[in-house]
Amino acid sequence: ITPNRPDCLSHIGVAREVAAITGAELKIPETQINETDVPVEEKVEVEIQDPEGCPRYCVRVIENIEIKESPLWLKKRLEAVGVRSINNVVDITNYVLMETGHPLHAFDYDFIEGHKIVVRKANDNEKFVTLDNIERQLVKSDLLICDGKKPVALAGVMGGLNSEVINTTKTVLLESAYFDPMTIRRTAKRLNLSTEASYRFERGADPENAVYAVNRAADLMEKLAGGKTAKGFIDNNPRQIKPWNVDVRVDRVNFVLGTNIPKDKIVSIFKSLKLKVKDGTPLNVEIPTFRPDLKREIDLIEEVIRLYGFDVIEPSMSTVIPLNEITNKKIKFHEDLRDYLAGIGFNEVINTSMVSLKHIEILKNNLNIDAVKIKNPLSPETEYIRTSLIPGVLDSVKWNHNRATSDIHLFEIGRAMYAKNKSLPDEYVMACGAVSGRKYDKVTWKRSSEPVDFYYLKGIIEYIFAKFHIYDYFLEDSEYPFFNDNSAQKIIVSGNTVGYMGKVGDGILKKWDINTDVYMFDLNLDSVFGSVRQRIVYSPIPRFPAVKRDLAIVVDESVRVRQIIDKVKSKGGKYLKQVEIFDLYKGKQIPEGKKSIALTMTFLSDEKTLREQEIEPVFKKIIAHLEAEFSASLRSV
């Protein structure tokens, strides 16, 4: 039985299904109780202190009980379903459990102090001995059934040794309750204590079945144990769970299933499942509490085809469901990036998104970025949701280094989260890459064993941007907790910061016990995606020749190449199409504190061949502005 069908964990539940399939009438055993004149309220009191954990609690009291061996028919039926016979009273509770799917518990009434039942949460470190004679240490999320002074049962899981039915029992307090599935599941899993009762409660018993189950058991105790039942029953129901309604569109049913099932047939199927149907457009279906799995329209559509029959559907060469795949452009971008990085020699790693304090404290301490903390982590190593992919990739670098793999090209694409006060966390798709060792893992006569460096990593970033036709980008000196201050670069695309790159700092490498240089990039793909060209527009081949001019200037070392390029572009006029740097030099011929920058400018007109008279004034204008703004001088040697 799948976890979503607790109604089938009983003979009546299975019989209900058989009746729906075959069209036969469902017959449920009737109960007939001969009550005494003494009201049950004079015998017992029920107080529910935790209505969330126990929305309903029913009680009957049966007196003059004779504890004895169960009749043969009852023992055989229990043995047939794997239940050991104990005595007639306990066997009746187990029998009704198997018959109705609703767990019951019988207490020795004389052991219930104050003749009062209190349903409450346990206290931290509270101890309780269950029927298996094992002392359990409880936590405040566990639910207890108590009498006037002490716990007598672990709610929904197992009764207590201090109130069990024994051979001298004369009066039975019979419990039939409904407990919150999550509460019971948490307790059962934590204590590693699975019982027939917890198995059903944690999947969702039927709260409306509590009264029938307690009456059925009382009826059998009168017949098989000679008991006399007190008048009436206590039904403490502070949080009523009522049937709910789901609208079902007939045309939607046939659209999803690719069928043409008549409305009358659909209504007939619902009624066979004991669902009440209010005719109209759409159909309004009332879902009984014994079917907690039916929450949405699609759940009811599944019920229709399950009973209508998959084999009845006529084969068809056409379909109403579109078969063409709708491309998610963002996902395709991620997949293309994966393929591209793999194609240039990177290996993909996949790390867990649940990490330890070590992985999140760097960003928290330096950038005040808080991580999302998991409420019930499996271990301290999985206590937080990662805020960056860098620590996980560093783990992979270390793992490879420890196995004598020094030439490393790794990347990971995954999600990271930043916690926000009193709201959902921010979630981003990130791409992180790391290079270490040599540029090429195989050295041939064509390729030397050059080590990776900052410019190698920068070239990879440029290749990535070129692959996706991103051209409006530049790097800017920055600070980033994972990188050395003199190499950390902010990556800016279309005016927005999309990531960082640089050499991993010595302190970080020491923390990860890595003894070699590592260069990394960290990109926010959600930010990068906005600059990806979704449609590539091709330009015709130029009809007229281009004019190229080279320029070598000497400037202060503090002047950035990007500043020079931006200034040349801004003063180059309409004919300047491209500016490229082809040399950067510091040496004997260059004064100390200076550097030489050599660049090529490409001039081109779509309408004519450019003449020297048109280029020379622009060229002189560019030189003049470079001299004025950056104190640049032409390099003579």
Could you read off the pLDDT of 338-367 as tens digits, one per residue?
999 999 999 999 999 999 888 888 887 777
Q: Is the pLDDT of residue 326 over 80?
A: no
What is the average pLDDT across 298-312?
94
Cα gap 580→561, rounded to integer Å: 10
Least reliable range by pLDDT among 440-454, 473-487, 522-536: 440-454
Residues in Cβ contact with 289 at an 8 Å cutoff, skipping those fewer than 6 apart: 206, 207, 208, 209, 241, 242, 243
What is the average pLDDT across 73-78?
96
For 448-575, strand residue ranges (E) read 473-477, 489-493, 496-503, 518-524, 547-556
Q: Decide: helix, strand or coil at residue 230.
A: strand
Residues in Cβ contact with 533 at an 8 Å cutoff, skipping those fewer than 6 apart: 468, 469, 470
Nearest Cα to 34, choosing from 178, 164, 218? 218
Residue 255: both structure tokens together? 């659209």
Task: List the CATH number of the domain containing 130.
Answer: 3.50.40.10
The reply to whether 509 and 623 lie within a common domain is no
More confident residue, 264 or 637: 264
Q: Is the pLDDT of residue 15 over 70?
A: yes
Domain final position from 495, 529, 563? 529
Residue 231: both structure tokens together? 């008048």
What is the average pLDDT across 313-329?
75
Domain residues for the domain of 432 are 330-529
Domain final position from 225, 255, 273? 225
- Given this model, what pLDDT does residue 321 score? 63
In a domain, 66, yes or no: yes
Q: How many residues does the chain have?
A: 637
Domain count, the chain: 3
- Given this model, what pLDDT does residue 420 score? 81
Residue 373: both structure tokens together? 């903390």
In a domain, 499, yes or no: yes
Q: Is the pLDDT of residue 461 over 60?
A: yes
- Given this model, what pLDDT does residue 456 score? 92
- Given this model, what pLDDT does residue 320 score? 63
Cα gap 94→98, rounded to integer Å: 6
The reply to whether 478 and 574 lie within a common domain is no
DSSP letter assigned to residue 469? T
- Given this model, what pLDDT does residue 328 score? 86
The reply to whether 503 and 568 lie within a common domain is no
> What sign for the dihedral angle of Cα 224, 154, 116, 60?
negative
pLDDT-derived band at 637, boundaries 50, 70, 90: low
Nearest Cα to 258, choosing from 324, 171, 323, 214? 323
In a domain, 505, yes or no: yes
The number of CA neighbours under 13 Å toward the Cβ of 331 is: 4
The reply to whether 511 and 565 lie within a common domain is no
In a domain, 78, yes or no: yes
Task: List the CATH number of the domain containing 508.
Answer: 3.30.930.10
The reply to whether 525 and 552 lie within a common domain is no
The reply to whether 459 and 555 lie within a common domain is no
- Given this model, what pLDDT does residue 43 score? 95
- Given this model, what pLDDT does residue 143 score? 96
In a domain, 281, yes or no: no
Cα gap 131→111, rounded to integer Å: 14
Determine contact, residues 111/163, Cβ cutoff 8 Å: yes
Q: Is the pLDDT of residue 379 over 90?
A: no
In a domain, 420, yes or no: yes
pLDDT-derived band at 446, boundaries 50, 70, 90: low
Query: H-type helices in 530-611, by residue range?
Result: 561-571
Burial of 129 (0-12, 13-18, 19+ CB in 10 A): middle
The reply to whether 519 and 551 lie within a common domain is no
* 583-604: burial string, b at 16+ Cβ within 10 Å, e else: eeeeeeeeeeebbbbebebebb
Domain final position from 196, 225, 254? 225
The reply to whether 351 and 417 lie within a common domain is yes
Return the percentage of the chain with pLDDT > 90, whole number.
73
In a domain, 523, yes or no: yes
The reply to whether 453 and 558 lie within a common domain is no
Determine contact, residues 425/372, Cβ cutoff 8 Å: yes
Q: Is the pLDDT of residue 441 over 70?
A: no
- Given this model, what pLDDT does residue 443 score? 61
Q: Is the pLDDT of residue 322 over 70?
A: no
The reply to whether 418 and 566 lie within a common domain is no
- Given this model, what pLDDT does residue 228 score? 96
Model confidence over 550-603: pLDDT tens digits? 999 999 988 888 889 989 999 999 899 999 989 888 888 888 889 999 999 999
Q: What is the dihedral of CA 247, 251, 254, 256, to 10 degrees?
A: -70
Q: Is the pLDDT of residue 549 over 70?
A: yes
Burial of 253 (0-12, 13-18, 19+ CB in 10 A): buried
What is the average pLDDT across 534-538?
76
Would the pTM count as exceeding 0.75? Answer: no
Return the percentage of the chain with pLDDT > 70, whole number.
98
Mean of per-residue pLDDT scores for the chain: 91
Cα gap 341→322, rounded to integer Å: 33
In a domain, 447, yes or no: yes
- Given this model, what pLDDT does residue 381 score? 87
The reply to whether 523 and 588 lie within a common domain is no
Radius of gyration of the chain (CA): 38
Secondary structure of 249-291 as H, E, C letters: CHHHHHHHHCCCCCHHHHHHHHHHCCCEEECCCCEEEEECCCC
- Given this model, what pLDDT does residue 392 score? 93
Nearest Cα to 632, choosing from 557, 552, 553, 550? 553
More confident residue, 422 or 244: 244
The reply to whether 111 and 138 lie within a common domain is yes
pLDDT-derived band at 524, boundaries 50, 70, 90: very high
- Laid out side by side, the sheet with 408-420 consists of 347-348, 408-420, 423-436, 518-524, 496-503, 489-493, 473-477
Residues in Cβ contact with 120 at an 8 Å cutoff, skipping those fewer than 6 apart: 49, 50, 143, 144, 146
Nearest Cα to 252, choosing from 305, 193, 212? 305
- Given this model, what pLDDT does residue 445 score? 62
- Residue 549 β-bridge partners: 601
Task: List the CATH number of the domain containing 555.
Answer: 3.30.70.380
